[in-house]
Amino acid sequence: MSQSIPLIKRSLVDQALEQLRDRISRGAWAVGARLPTEPELAAELGISRNTMREALRVLAFSGLIEIRQGDGSYLRATIDPLTTMQALSRCSLDQARETRHSFEVEAVGLAALRRTEEDLRGLREALHTAGDHYHGDLDSYINCDLVFHQRLIDAAHNPMLSELYRYFSSVIAGALRQTLDINPRRQSVFDLHVALLEAVEQQDPERAKALCRSLINEP
């Protein structure tokens, strides 16, 4: 009997979350607006304050709202990042490639034009570390490779592109596990990274974009 209590509570929280997400998606509150108080929301939905409090914590964890102690809860976004991540995780290898072509190639072109000396130092460091792991443990290399690519996107100095890549990086990691799960790994693939960094250093956006396309298309 005692085991049924958290299941019932979770069900109530899920129902509250569904109603809150529905209101958010329908535009009940504008981004930046203060939500009704916890007691007001609990009364509207016919649930306890404890259940509402837990539902709000879940929304805060997912990035939809911000809870400010002593001030209330404010809407941060209308699309749940966790739902977005779930959708991204279901995409195929071909879909992942298409998505990368749609934003990563252009971001690399911008990085070649906008990179700073500080960006280049970070990129060289990340590529050197990735090179040390390229022929070793696959997951270790993938983690290093994602750092290099994230810094490459960050060098475009466009926060939206940086966040896009950050969200998508888990999908890219999954794709890399499929394409790089061979032994020995082809040195030519890593050499493309070296050439890509050189193109960014030389501020050659077209060459950088061409090399990025080649990397994405690697089988």
Residues 111-120 pLDDT 10s: 999 999 999 9
Residues 99-142 pLDDT 10s: 889 999 999 999 999 999 999 999 999 999 999 999 999 999 99
Mean pLDDT of 167-181: 84
Higher pLDDT, 42 or 166: 42
Q: At what angle do helices 187-201 and 138-154 cross, to 10 degrees?
A: 20
- Return the number of other C-beta atoms located less than 10 Å from residue 194's C-beta: 11
Mean pLDDT of 28-57: 93
pLDDT band at 198 (very low <50, low <70, confident <90, very high): very high
Q: What is the pTM of this model?
A: 0.66
Residues 158-167 pLDDT 10s: 999 998 888 7
Superfamily of domain 91-217: GntR ligand-binding domain-like (1.20.120.530)
Higher pLDDT, 3 or 92: 92
DSSP code at position 186: P
CATH 2.40.50.220 given to domain 4-78 = no
Contact predicate 218/211, CB 8 Å: no
**Which of 7-16, 25-34, 64-73, 137-146 has the least mean pLDDT?**
7-16
Greatest alpha-carbon pair distance for the chain in Å reads 69
Cα separations (Å) of 99 from 75, 88, 136, 140, 192?
Answer: 28, 10, 28, 24, 20
Mean pLDDT of 64-92: 81
pLDDT band at 7 (very low <50, low <70, confident <90, very high): very low
Q: Which of 126, 185, 174, 131 is nearest to 150 (CA)?
A: 126
| Domain ranges across the chain | 4-78, 91-217
Same fold, 4-78 and 91-217: no
Token look-up 């290898």 returns 93
